């Protein structure tokens, strides 16, 4: 009984806050079904790492050093090589069908435009006093891509990896809530009701196989810092499209992606220790991250509006909003909105093309941010 009382009395108010945050993440994952495969292990991990004298973190007991499993996973899987977020990209690549994008290459533009929030947020974070590495890491929340956010913040050695990961994945999960509100504020009902014909071009198997290889070469020469992200994404897609590695493709899409996501959620909780997480800066990071998501959506919408000034066949501006990396949530949200505004209005394939373009663009943007920041810091 004395041990129980001693343990309870050792809990700080900051650790109590983290228990609440952990419980909230678990609730969002289970009750609201917001990214449950990640939020549930992340929330549970946040509780595990905040017990006094917890064995999931390294500690010294009577002069003997004992390794903690979560701290070990973090050191090996993220700190040493960023292996977990990078390996996850194989699974993501195997899930993606680039057919809608290859049928309509102009969708690449929306993938680029929807990264606007990254650079706006970097500027905003710098204005609020974050140093360049932390500001860049916070801004990458706007990539709407959890693995990219974790990778960039870890490479730049940000002090806020945990807060950035929580913000990135939380806002990805909240896309069905955030995006409709922003889209309605920046478009008219008439624009949201624009119909778009979908006449897909036949994309040959050779094209589908060559695409990931060519993209890897282009990115490798233009943005070498993006090669780990884009290269593994494209490798996963090659498994899908080559036609002779069906079992490996299925494994990457399901077993590999699920296992890495599970371990990543637990591992990133290492950065959610109360002494590092419960700060005013964390709240500010969450706000800046939300701003980044909002301006991502605005960037895509505004590009579509601008293009419509010169086109006879108009683009539904909501397609531009689907250019964020949150795949496939963004394209589904856009289609649901189109259907609600006018039943029978199908823009899903256009939105899907913009959405997968956002996957590539976010990884490239992450590499460019790393290159620019490290270059500026010498």
Compute the average pLDDT of residues 275-292.
90
pLDDT at 213 over 90: yes
pLDDT at 212 over 80: yes
Residue with tokens 């093309």: 353
In sequence order, which ranges of 49-194 are alpha helices (DSSP H)?
Answer: 69-74, 83-95, 99-103, 108-113, 116-127, 132-139, 146-155, 161-173, 175-186, 189-192
pLDDT band at residue 3 using 50, 70 and 90 as cut-offs: low
pLDDT in tens, 39-80: 899 899 999 999 988 888 887 666 667 778 999 998 898 888
| Alpha-carbon torsion (2, 270, 329, 85), positive or negative | negative
CB-CB contact of 300 with 177 (8 Å): no
Q: Is 10 exposed, middle or buried (0-12, 13-18, 19+ CB in 10 A)?
A: exposed
Nearest to 215 by CA among 68, 25, 367, 1: 367
To the nearest whole percent, how much of the chain has pLDDT over 90?
51
pLDDT at 120 over 90: yes
What confidence score (pLDDT) does residue 234 get? 95
Q: Give the list of residues 6+ apart from residue 66 with CB closer than 8 angstroms, or none.
A: 55, 58, 59, 60
What confidence score (pLDDT) does residue 375 get? 84
Q: Is 255 exposed, middle or buried (0-12, 13-18, 19+ CB in 10 A)?
A: exposed
CB-CB contact of 29 with 166 (8 Å): no
Residue with tokens 């494994």: 251
pLDDT band at residue 302 using 50, 70 and 90 as cut-offs: very high
Residue with tokens 């069906």: 246
CB-CB contact of 176 with 288 (8 Å): no
Residue with tokens 């036609």: 243
pLDDT in tens, 178-188: 899 999 999 99
Compute the distance between CA of residue 148 and CA of residue 366 in angstroms, rounded to an integer. 6
Residue 144: which region, alpha, beta or left (left: phi > 0; alpha: psi -120 to 50)?
Answer: left
What confidence score (pLDDT) does residue 306 get? 95
Mean pLDDT score of the chain? 89
pLDDT band at residue 2 using 50, 70 and 90 as cut-offs: low
Compute the distance between CA of residue 185 and CA of residue 134 in angstroms, rounded to an integer. 30
pLDDT in tens, 137-153: 999 998 888 888 888 99
Compute the distance between CA of residue 269 and CA of residue 284 in angstroms, rounded to an integer. 19
Residue 60 forms beta bridges with which residues? 65
What confidence score (pLDDT) does residue 173 get? 76
pLDDT band at residue 34 using 50, 70 and 90 as cut-offs: confident
Residue 59 forms beta bridges with which residues? 66
Taking the alpha carbons at both ends of the chain, their separation in whole angstroms is 56
Compute the distance between CA of residue 193 and CA of residue 183 in angstroms, rounded to an integer. 13
pLDDT at 287 over 80: yes
Compute the average pLDDT of residues 332-341.
91
Compute the average pLDDT of residues 216-228.
88
Compute the distance between CA of residue 215 and CA of residue 220 in angstroms, rounded to an integer. 8
Compute the distance between CA of residue 361 and CA of residue 110 in angstroms, rounded to an integer. 9
């Amino acid at each position: 009984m004395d041990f129980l009382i001693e343990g309870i009395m050792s809990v700080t108010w900051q650790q109590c806050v983290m228990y609440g945050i952990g419980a909230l993440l678990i609730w969002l994952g289970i009750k609201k079904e917001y990214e449950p495969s990640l939020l549930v292990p992340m929330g549970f991990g946040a509780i595990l790492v905040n017990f006094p004298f917890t064995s999931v973190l390294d500690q010294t007991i009577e002069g003997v050093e004992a390794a903690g499993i979560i701290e070990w996973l973090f050191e090996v899987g993220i700190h040493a090589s960023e292996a977990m977020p990078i390996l996850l990209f194989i699974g993501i690549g195997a899930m993606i069908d680039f057919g809608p994008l290859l049928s309509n290459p102009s969708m690449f533009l929306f993938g680029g435009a929807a990264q606007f929030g990254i650079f706006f947020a970097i500027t905003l974070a710098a204005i609020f006093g974050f140093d360049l590495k932390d500001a860049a890491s916070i801004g990458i929340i706007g990539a709407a891509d959890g693995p990219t956010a974790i990778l960039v913040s870890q490479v730049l050695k940000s002090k806020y990896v945990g807060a950035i990961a929580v913000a990135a994945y939380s806002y990805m999960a909240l896309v069905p809530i955030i995006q409709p509100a922003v889209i309605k504020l920046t478009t008219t009902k008439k624009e949201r009701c624009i119909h778009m014909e979908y006449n897909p071009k036949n994309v040959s198997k050779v094209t589908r196989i060559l695409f990931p290889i060519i993209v890897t070469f282009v990115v490798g020469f233009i943005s070498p810092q993006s090669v780990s992200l884009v290269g593994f994404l494209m490798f996963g897609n090659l498994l899908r499209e080559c036609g002779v590695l069906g079992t490996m493709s299925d494994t990457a899409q399901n077993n590999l992606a699920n296992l890495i996501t599970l371990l990543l959620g637990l591992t990133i909780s290492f950065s959610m220790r109360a002494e590092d997480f419960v700060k005013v800066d964390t709240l500010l990071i969450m706000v800046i991250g939300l701003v980044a998501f909002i301006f991502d959506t605005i960037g895509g919408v505004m590009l579509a509006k601008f293009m419509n000034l010169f086109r006879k066949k108009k683009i539904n501006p909501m397609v531009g909003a689907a250019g964020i990396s949150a795949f496939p949530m963004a394209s589904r949200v856009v289609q649901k909105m189109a259907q609600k505004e006018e039943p029978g209005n199908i823009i899903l394939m256009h939105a899907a093309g913009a959405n997968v373009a956002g996957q590539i663009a976010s990884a490239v943007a992450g590499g460019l941010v790393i290159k620019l920041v490290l270059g500026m810091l010498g």
